[in-house]
Structure 1
Amino acid sequence: MKPIVVIGFIGTQLDSGRGAGRWEKWRPTLSLAQHPDMVVARMELIHTPRHTALAEMVKADIEGVSPETEVRLVPLDIEDPWDFGEVYTRLYDWARAYPFDTAREQYWAHITTGTHVAQICMFLLAESRIVPGVLAQTSPPRRQREGDPGSFTLIDLDRSRYDAIAQRHAADQREAVAFLKRGIATRNARFNALIDEVERVAVRSRAPILLVGPTGAGKSFLARRMFELKKARHQVSGPFVEVNCATLRGDGAASSLFGHKKGAFTGAASERAGLLRSADQGVLFLDEIGELGADEQAMLLMAIEEKRFYPVGADHEVHSDFQLVAGTNRDLRGEVAAGRFREDLFARINLWTYELPGLAQRPEDIEPNIEHLLAQHAQQAHRGVRFNAEARAAYLRFAQGPDAPWHGNFRDLSASITRLATLAEGARITEDLVQAELARLRWLWAREDAAPAHTLADDDLDLDELLGTEQAAALDLFDRLQLEAVLRVCRRSRTLSDAGRQLFQASRMQRSVVNDADRLRKYLAKHRLSWERIRA
């Protein structure tokens, strides 16, 4: 067994006593050295300078009953033993400098002695593994007898050693992930992995989080759910404050965000706190942060880094400690390169960046979201509605197919299901209703789907021109038809990744690593084609 090293505070009351009578009472620090079947190799005895004499006496007593035990006195200059900040700082600094050697020694943190504050600090240091050992709790004997050391209990705070605790922790994490997803059982591997990480970051970090994705992908919803999760864990006490930066224009932008002093400008009849101050101790969600002007970007950077800023027209700074969640449908890297977004602000908010896939990139999640929207409608309208089997199949065929771009993402889907549920007679959505709704969706998307002048139409697919006459002639009919089908999907897609997701939708569910763009790129390269050449 590895030698035992005990770390603990001297008990200024429990360990005290100077006459011979001290041997008749139970003293917790001394008791650890009195167990005949357990030898303490070394004891780090922490004390304040004013208790040095007591510490030296306890050291002598321990060495008298257990010559094998080396006692080292550790004086810590603690002015107020009930000041948590002071006690923790002194202990933390000592522990960080201590030469722990877990390969050769085992460490016990004695928590019976010392103030309650000292005991809590010992617990925290052991729980965080700064003191890499177990807690030792000593207890007096039932009947006080000279030389009886009582008993001791060891408490290992390494939660990974306890199956029940590990299972409870895993269950808590699953519940938090389900909460972030509204309880919808998503089937998209990429989205599930993203939410798993967002859950861990949301409860462990107060650093800015950047959510990237198209309009309607759920950035605002996810930001609010993160706030509600943190609030349930008592990690925030302030409110959730949301603002769409695209609505902030001109002189009023800075005033809305940072507040203003009375008389700061024409119309400033009274002082205004501003949204940043309203979000103190809470979460501030700035949607479409790429729309902020240059001045507001500079002021926001200071507010994030220093938690303070100047309201418009004010001479004195104000303070607000909030967590920032930002949203954007722009590529801020391109905005930085074009000089429209500050590089230092982007670096500050880019620590945790998550790209939310659009609905067209998550066709497997359309079905569970339809069920969720119908359940939501039933709660609001007090009327349950269901699809007929044929109607459901027809709707899903279209919704999950390449002809449904879902430009508005979940907003489009929510509006579509609301229309169907509202028009359903007898609480049943029929195939006729579905066909009418699909016609409406095609009409809504017609203008957005209009191909730009440079986009290939189906009739423009000329393999002889793309591949060269000799290479095109060498293709079997099977390969030619397959290639033409792939090129048509590429024509309808905005990016290589979008095209890959549509082409490999079925097989991607069985793959542990999903890289649709790479698969498509390799297929095109086999025919000496590139995405750029196809789109040129």
Structure 2
Amino acid sequence: MRNVVLGFLGTQLDSGKRRRWKPTVSLCQEDGFDVDRYELIYDGTFSRLAHNVKSEIEAVSPDTEVVLNQMDMDDPWDLGETYGKLFDFAKDYGFDEDRERYHIHLTTGTHIGQICWFLLSESRHIPAALIQTGPPRGDSERGSFDLIDLDLRQFDAIQQRFDQQSREYGGILRGGIETKNSAYNQIMDRIEQVSSVSDEPVLLQGETGTGKSELAQRIYELKLDRRRVKGRLVHVNCATLIGGTAMATLFGQRRSFTGQAGTERPGLLREADGGVLFLDEIDTLGLEEQALLLHAVETGRYYPLGSDTEITSRFQIIAGTSADLSERVAAGLFRVDLLARLNFWTFKLPPLRERKEDIEDNLKYELARAEKRLGVRVGFNADAAEAWLRFARAPSTPWPGNFRDFGGAIMRLCTLAPRGRITRAQVQEEIERLQRRWRSSTTDRDAQLVAQYFAANLDPFDIPQLAHVIRVCQTSVSMSEAGRRLFAVSREERSSKNDADRLRKYLAKFGLKWIDLSES
């Protein structure tokens, strides 16, 4: 196998003006490394030097063939130009790996040229190892010679380090909880990928208690670790921004606006400068505030109340909502342009009832958290743990408050545990307490919904069924669609599948009409 070296002419080092050591010539004198052919790339401006170096190589290493390749550069520090010309050189070269071993001499050329050599070698556009040489040091007569092979099989340790770092970032987003739910893990992997490289808005959707606030905190920590932000995380619950104070809270106000001492405030947008602004329950934000927020997000500028001078604040934004913002837009309660800006990256967190395989790991997490808060280590008796997990994983357990319900239940069990052990009787008592609360909450919501359309008293048996029918009608585009959703099972057993007619007759029993429900 013949050794072939590709390298730039060293316009300074190979001239010998600064020192007697000439890297291109010295490489051809290296003991144990015979150079059969040297492809020397030079700019036409230095043609004389190139020919002198060729003569010197032929004098010290007669068996080395020197091939001069003229490559003129308008600007050797221009990455695009240098890479493009080296790419074209490699494309037309005609590498013969069966007969020749190729090497790139990195010592000569600009830093831009060295970067381009590396990129072309790593991508295998040039199937070559890298050579780095250096001048003699001290009393040594020989310079340094390092051969770097970019065979990626030698970089398993580096790849493992990257994989480990990725797992660490994923662990940050999961709060240190080992999660098994594939849908949730896919979301976390995508959030880790996005948060590490993108500064665009992130919209977190999910039912109440699915962990949007905690996830926003972890996204911020990841961005801080990856140096995507330098400022703080400012958490705003938009549901608390009520009335005239909403504007001042968000955008700040000058004393001149009220004329009263102590009324000047910087505003939360100013506090988020350089960091992350988390707008929780953003669906509750007023339309006027939405318009000003959109301008601030897009331009980084806004006017505090009572000020004629714009304030600059550059921040990244995370928004959280448990509502369907598209429905809010359709109802005229949310600006479509703000939604378009916020949902650049949208992630919908699955509820706890769809993550039953993660319940046991979340139980361990909640027990550890309770231990920190109470200062006492608490555990389950074996029969108590079995009873709790059976209830928590059961398809009939709705977990309407999701992890908020789950975490609250574990904290109550730990607080009341005698001698640090949770008993089967305690578990049964907590299960009954949760079921009573859920039934009461569901019954109240159903009764309130039915009362909007039906004034007469109903048997308790009829209320949940009628409430479900009303909800389906409100979220369907036609009576036929609502009928198909309501009679999806029984319709398969009927010869006549007029779902709209069946729904019409059911509503008529209560004096209701489709148009009244659909328009609401």
What TM-score range do you get, normalising by the shorter chain?
A: 0.7 to 0.9
| Structure 2 match to 1:91 | 79
Give the match for residue 249 of structure 2: 256
1:273 corresponds in structure 2 to 266
Query: For 1:447, which of 436, 440, 445 is the aligned residue?
Result: 440
Does the residue aligned with 1:69 lie in a helix, a strand or coil? strand
Residue among 318, 321, 326 paired with 1:325: 318
Once residues 310 and 134 of structure 1 are traced to their aligned partners in structure 2, the CA distance between those partners, rounded to angstroms, is 59
Decide which of 300, 308, 317 is 1:307's aligned counterpart: 300
User: Which of the numbers 17, 34, 37 marks the counterpart of 2:35?
Assistant: 37
Give the whole-Å Cα distance in 2 for the aligned partners of 1:340 and 1:292.
Answer: 9
1:208-287 alignment to 2 at 5 Å?
Answer: 208-265=201-258, 267=260, 269=262, 271-287=264-280
Amino acid at match of 1:43: I
- Tell me the SS of whatever aligns to 2:255: coil
Please name the residue that 1:138 is paired with: 132
- Aligned with 1:255: secondary structure? helix
Aligned mate of 2:147, from 128, 136, 153: 153
Q: Deviations over 1:287-330 (max 9, x none)?
A: 11122222322222232223333323333332222221111111
Aligned twin of 1:480: none
Cα distance, 1:368 vs structure 2: 1.5
* Amino acid in the other structure paired with 1:179: I
Matched residue type, 1:414 = G
2:22 matched residue in structure 1: 27
Say what the alpha-carbon RMSD is for the aligned residues: 4.5
2:172 is equivalent to residue 179 of structure 1: yes
Matched with 1:70 is 69
Amino acid of the residue matched to residue 350 of structure 1? N
Cα distance, 1:148–1:434 mapped onto 2, change above 3 Å: closer
Using the alignment, how far apart are the partners of 1:221 and 1:252 within structure 2? Answer: 26
- Contact 2:3/2:35 (<8 A) preserved: no
Q: Which amino acid aligns with 1:153?
A: L
Residue segments in structure 2 that go unaligned for 5+ positions in a row: 58-64, 96-101, 451-457, 473-485, 508-520
The residue number in structure 2 matching 1:467 is none
Is the Cα–Cα contact under 8 Å of residues 3 and 104 in structure 1 kept in the other structure? no
Any idea what the Cα deviations from partners look like across 1:487-525, whole Å, max 9, x if unmatched?
A: x9xx79x89xxxxxxxxxxxxxxxxxxxxxxxx999788
Q: Cα distance, 1:10 vs. partner? A: 5.0
Deviations 1:37-60 (A, max 9, x none): 253546265xxxxxx96x454434
In structure 2, distance between residues paired with 1:164 and 1:326: 38
The alpha carbon displacement at 1:530 in A equals: 11
CA distance in 1: counterparts of 2:219 and 2:351, whole angstroms? 19
* Secondary structure class of the residue paired with 2:305: coil
Counterpart check, 1:389 vs 2:382: yes
How many residue pairs end up in the alignment? 457
Distance 1:3-1:140 versus aligned 2 partners, 3 A rule: closer
> Which residue of structure 1 lines up, in the alignment, with residue 50 of structure 2?
59
Amino acid aligned to 2:50: K
* CA-CA distance at 1:367 after TM superposition: 1.9
What is the CA-CA distance between 1:335 and the residue it aligns to? 1.9
Give, in whole Å, the separation in 2 of the partners of 1:387 and 1:312. 55
TM-superposed deviation, 1:127: 10
The aligned counterpart of 1:464 is none
CA contact (8 A) 1:210 1:353 kept: yes
**Matched-pair contact (CA < 8 Å) for 1:186–1:368:** yes
Please report the TM-score for the alignment, with normalisation by the length of structure 1.
0.71
In the superposition, relative to structure 1, how do residues 138 and 161 fare at CA in structure 2: closer, same or farther (>3 Å)?
closer
Paired AA for residue 256 in structure 1: T
- What secondary structure does 1:210 align onto? strand
Q: TM-score, normalised by structure 2?
A: 0.73
Change (3 A) 1:133 1:281: farther
Q: Is the 8 A contact 1:211 1:356 kept in 2?
A: yes
1:407, 1:445 within 8 Å by CA — same for their partners in 2?
yes
Q: Tell me how far 1:109 sits from its aligned partner.
A: 7.6
Q: Could you tell me which residue of structure 1 aligns to residue 511 of structure 2?
A: none
The Cα of 1:338 is off from its aligned counterpart by: 2.7
Larger-gyration structure (1/2)? 2
**How much identity, in percent, do the aligned residues show?**
38
Residue 225 of structure 1: CA displacement? Answer: 0.8
For the 8 Å contact 2:303–2:311, the answer to whether it is kept is yes
**Secondary structure, counterpart of 1:76 in structure 2:** coil
Unaligned stretches of 5+ residues in structure 1? 46-51, 78-86, 461-487, 496-519
The whole-number CA distance in structure 1 between the counterparts of 2:300 and 2:9 is 38
Q: In structure 1, how many angstroms separate the alpha carbons of the residues matched to 2:204 and 2:124?
A: 34
Alpha-carbon contact 1:109-1:122 (below 8 Å) kept: no
In structure 2, C-alpha distance between the alignment counterparts of 1:351 and 1:97, rounded to whole Å:
38
Retained in 1: the 8 A contact 2:234–2:272? yes
